[in-house]
Each structure stands twice: as C-alpha cells, then as structure tokens.
Amino acid sequence: MNIQSIKQRFGIIGRSEELNRALSKAIRVANTDLSVLIQGESGVGKEVISKIIHNLSARKHDIFIALNTGALPEGTINSELFGHEKGAFTGATSDRKGYFETASGGTIFLDEIGEMPLDTQAYLLRVLESGEYIKVGSSKVQKTDVRIIAATNVELLDRVRNGKFREDLYYRLNTVPIKVPSLKERREDIYMLFRKFALDFAEKYRTESIQLDPEAKALITNYNWPGNVRELRNVVEQMSILSEERMITKERLVKLIPNIVQRYLPKKLNGAEGESLQEREILYKVLFDMKNDLNDLKSLIFELIKTNDLRVSDLNGLKQMQLSAPHAMYHPSANEPSNFDRSDISVHRDVPSEIQSDGPVLVNDGEYDQMEVVENNLSLEEMEKDYIVKALKKYNGRRKEAAGELGISERTLYRKIKYYGI
C-alpha cells in the first residue's frame, strides 16, 4: 500500500517530506510486532499514526485501545492496566480485568508515556520482554499477547537523565522511533489543511466555506502554531462560526484571532532547546562570528598602522576613516614604540569641508597599486550555507558532529543540506 492511498484512507492532508517519511515508516513497521515510539509535539496527530500501524497489521481485526497514561491516577493506574483481584484494596469489591488482558491479541496505544509512574514502568517492561504480568493483589502470573505503541511529546532521554524514566524501558520502547513533524516544520501543508477544515465546517454548519485573501494566507502560513493541527482546526471552526464575511482579510483575521500575529522569538527554556530555536540558531551564530571577525580586523589595522610604514591607496574615492581612539593612537605616550615615526602618516589638509572631521585621514603617496573594492555577499542564506559547508568539511561529512558544531539538530541540518543542495 502506497503513501497516497494511506492519506486518502485515513484523511491525512499534506505533502511535506517529513510527513511522508513518518507515514512510510509506519507502513513498513505495521506487519511486525516491534514496539514503536511515536515522538512529536502535542496536536500533531500521533494517535493517527498508531491507528495506521494497527489497521495495517495482522492484528487489525482485534481490539485497539488508546490510553492517555498521564490522565490515569497514579494510585489506580496499575489496576487499570493489569487488573486486580477482589479485596486487593479498599473498594475492590470484585475481580477486574485490566486493559492488557482485554486487548490480548490486539494493540494498546500508550500516549504521554513519559508521565507513567516508575513502578508501573517496571511492570510494563516485563510485559514488553516476556508478555507476563500480575494483577494487583494476585500472585498468579498471567500472559498477554499485546502489541504496544507508545507516544510522547517530551524528550524521554532528558527524563531518563533526571531519573524519571527507566533507561531500559526507553530502549525497549524505542525499537522503531517515528517522528511526526510539527506544523512549523511543514508550512507547505498549512493552507491545504485550512482549506480541508474550512470545507468540513461549511458542510457541518451548512454555510459557505470561508476563504483567505493573500495577506491573511501569508499570516496563517507564517504563524508558528504551537498547538499544531489541533489548534489550526479550532481556529478554522471559530472563524467559520464567528465571521460574518466569508472572505477573511488580514485585519479581520487579527480581530478574530489576536494571537495570530504573535511572534515566537528565540528564548532559552529551562536549559532545554525549544524547537523554535533551531531555525534561527545558525543565523545568530553567523552574526556573532561576523562581529568577532570585524573586531579582529579593526585590531589588525590598528596594529599595522602602529608598526608599519602604512600608506592608503590613492585619492580617487577618498574616504574618511574614523578611528575609535584617534587621540590615543596619534598622541605621544609612554607605550609608543621608539621606532614609530608619525611623519610616515600624512594627514590630508585639503579634504572638502563636507567630509572633514576631527579624525585623521590617511592618503596615498603613489607607492601602491589601485585597490580593488570587493563587495562581500551579504545574503544570510549564503552565509548560512557557507557555515554548513565549513562544518561538514571540518568533520569529514559527519552530520552529527557538524550539527553539534553549528548548534542545531541533525534533522534540521539534514533539511538544510537538501535545501541548499550541498
């Protein structure tokens, strides 16, 4: 079964490469019994991926149960998952089957797996390794044949380092990782999703479908959508109901959804790197490095003036050179080298009044050739590309090390390599 038919069957809208990669992985792993860990921000559609895996597997005729482990109370989660015996605790008036017994032969989707208590993690690890579990209040070992698909919107390795998630369970769950991209990583799909939702709500509320003018379209495309597909769907439904006009302009869009113009500038988030930082980090690194290069260049020029018989090229296109500390440079001081002859530097007295200033002007006495003025390429994309090429060259094409040097994720580096054709 190809990706396009899967999109039609499950109502998935989008053509981005990362979305297609996630769907392709789900299709390939469906016919196995391997554990799958679906990663992605809240609202990107992780449960849809789990349903695709189940419905394309040999277990498709058996039960599929989706559980939000973060919503199950810590005191009863073991009973919910594994069941309990009568009298196991106060209120246990009868035997109860758990989800692992009920779903035997089928699939269990455990969302927000990072919120699972540590003792429950130990029981889950045993199920993954041997298919065995024990009901609360029982001593009898029972078997289950359940495929487990887990999902998380947090970085589980960080929770492993903080002692909040078992390392052995992480690697057992992460047999096949699938990353579902956020909307800001698939901006080419945003307007397609908008049109789909607009048509759906027009049919639901029996009204004409809303549309966007070019400015409003650009606004929703460039918004970061922290709530992802879920947020976009809610926004379209809100506009479909509240807007009297069917053509949505930029002004009307801002009036209906004020936070649509909110800008998500880089911000350090408790030591964790936010996803919104990745697109800008390399740009800031370029700018900071440019600043350092300029400072080094200024220092080099000052040193050359002090220690060499330096004369500037001819008078054509005479430019005034304002030095940051002219008096410290040209007035005698105890630190001045004994061989420094200030007569080597000519101060031009005939500069037109409109460009005269208190700073010295260095001129040429005809000894040197005409300088060639080379304009630097100030394109930010070219600078970014140049830094990526240098980092890859430094690490002999090893993307992981190059990404670390650039301060971005390996996935972002891969995308930029493809974008620039490196």
From 422, 397, 181, select the one nearest 278 (Cα to Cα). Answer: 181
Predicted local distance difference test score (pLDDT) of residue 273: 46
- Rounded to whole angstroms, the Cα distance separating 305 from 324 reads 14
CB atoms within 10 A of CB 366: 9
Helix (H) or strand (E) holding 380: helix 380-394
- Per the structure block, which two tokens stand in for 405? 């040097």
Q: 146 with 100: CB under 8 angstroms?
A: yes
Q: 142 with 100: CB under 8 angstroms?
A: no
Q: 136 with 83: CB under 8 angstroms?
A: yes
Q: How many residues does the chain have?
A: 422
List domains and CATH numbers for the chain.
Answer: 3-181 (3.40.50.300), 184-261 (1.10.8.60), 277-286+378-420 (1.10.10), 312-329+344-367 (no CATH)
DSSP 90: T
Predicted local distance difference test score (pLDDT) of residue 86: 87
Predicted local distance difference test score (pLDDT) of residue 379: 65
- Rounded to whole angstroms, the Cα distance separating 65 from 42 reads 19
- Rounded to whole angstroms, the Cα distance separating 349 from 366 reads 17
Each residue's pLDDT expressed in tens, for the chain with a length of 422 residues: 789 999 999 999 999 999 999 999 999 999 999 999 999 999 999 999 999 999 999 999 999 999 999 899 888 899 999 999 988 888 888 888 999 999 999 999 999 999 999 999 999 999 999 999 999 998 899 999 999 999 999 999 999 999 999 999 999 999 999 999 999 999 999 999 999 999 999 999 999 999 999 999 999 998 989 999 999 999 999 999 988 889 999 998 888 778 777 655 444 444 444 444 555 666 766 776 777 777 777 777 766 666 665 554 443 443 444 434 344 344 444 444 444 444 444 444 444 444 444 444 444 444 545 555 445 555 677 778 888 888 888 888 888 888 888 878 888 888 888 888 88
Segments of 26-163 assigned E as strands: 36-39, 64-68, 107-111, 132-134, 141-143, 147-152
Helix (H) or strand (E) holding 291: helix 278-307
Predicted local distance difference test score (pLDDT) of residue 176: 93
Residues 6+ apart with CB under 8 A from 376: none
Print burial letters for 6-41: b (CB count within 10 Å at least 16), e (below 16). Answer: bbeeeebebebebbbebbebbbebbeeeebbbbbbb
Q: What are the CB-based long-range contacts (under 8 Å, 24+) for 280-286?
A: 281/406, 281/407, 281/408, 282/384, 282/387, 282/388, 282/406, 282/407, 282/408, 282/416, 283/380, 283/384, 285/387, 285/406, 285/407, 286/380, 286/383, 286/384, 286/387
